[in-house]
Structure 1
Amino acid sequence: MYDTEPDYRFTLANERTFLAWIRTALALLAAGVAADELIGGGAGNIDHSVLAVTCVVVATLLSLGAFHRWRRVQSAMRRSDPLPPASIVRVTVGGVCAIALVCVVVVIL
């Protein structure tokens, strides 16, 4: 099947969704920096460093996944194919659960 230009409203909606994922990734990145710089404080706080690294890794995965998702959706719309499944949701849920578990460990210790 050949590519056609989708309705601009769908393209703009796809871009807004991409930007929402990027905002989430930026928030997690900021949380990672805050966990290390503001909360961690010293070299002996390895638990805060683990929390910071977890936040940064999840933020990186989300930003890469957001770009991949945006491209796949845009391509599907151009070919009039069904939209691909949103695997980025699983990454988000898994990442937030991992961060929550690390937070529990940090609070307990």
Structure 2
Amino acid sequence: MLRQWFDPEETRRVGSTPDYRFSLANERTFLAWIRTGLALVAGGLAAAQFLPPLPLPYLREVIAVGLLALGAAVAVRAVAHWGRTERAMRLGTDLPTSRFPLLLAVVIGAGAILLIVAVVIQSVRAP
């Protein structure tokens, strides 16, 4: 699997060449996931640099590190999914399924709820 990431010719040795439109669509999906990962990393850096101290100890740092880690996970997952999808298309098998989008949505939703709680706590404490 890792060899496929670093050696694009490895993918071409399997099965037959799919319609280029499908390969390009797979690449566009990969790029969309990479943009999502970059946005999460940017959000993590922004949280670390620009969020004021929050009412709960280390909450700002937890948010920043969480976003950075999630961004890294999304980027790595993008490569894995691209490779598995390309291989499936070349072999004419079913496309791979993934629970990662669900996990990503749940984590982002939980993070948003955590931020809402922090904002409410901070506004209640404000004079």
TM-score (norm 1): 0.86
Flag structure 1 segments of 5+ consecutive residues without an equivalent. Answer: none
1:92-103 alignment, distance < 5 Å? 92-103=104-115
The residue type equivalent to 2:64 in the other structure is A
Q: Which has the larger radius of gyration?
A: 2
Q: Cα offset for 1:45?
A: 6.0
1:49 to 51, 58, 61: 61
Alignment coverage as a number of residue pairs: 107
* Equivalent pair of 1:36/1:48 in contact (CA under 8 Å): yes
Write the distance in 2 (CA, Å) between the matches of 1:45 and 1:31: 20
What does residue 75 of structure 2 align with? Answer: 63
Q: Cα offset for 1:94?
A: 2.3
What does residue 26 of structure 1 align with? Answer: 38
Write the distance in 2 (CA, Å) between the matches of 1:105 and 1:47: 11
Write the distance in 2 (CA, Å) between the matches of 1:26 and 1:50: 18
Q: Cα offset for 1:77?
A: 0.1
What does residue 20 of structure 2 align with? Answer: 8
Question: Percent of counterpart pairs with the same letter?
Answer: 39
Write the distance in 2 (CA, Å) between the matches of 1:98 and 1:15: 29
Flag structure 2 segments of 5+ consecutive residues without an equivalent. Answer: 1-13, 123-127
- CA RMSD, 1 decimal: 2.0
Write the distance in 2 (CA, Å) between the matches of 1:94 and 1:47: 19
Moved over 3 A (4+): none
TM-score (norm 2): 0.75
The residue type equivalent to 1:88 in the other structure is F
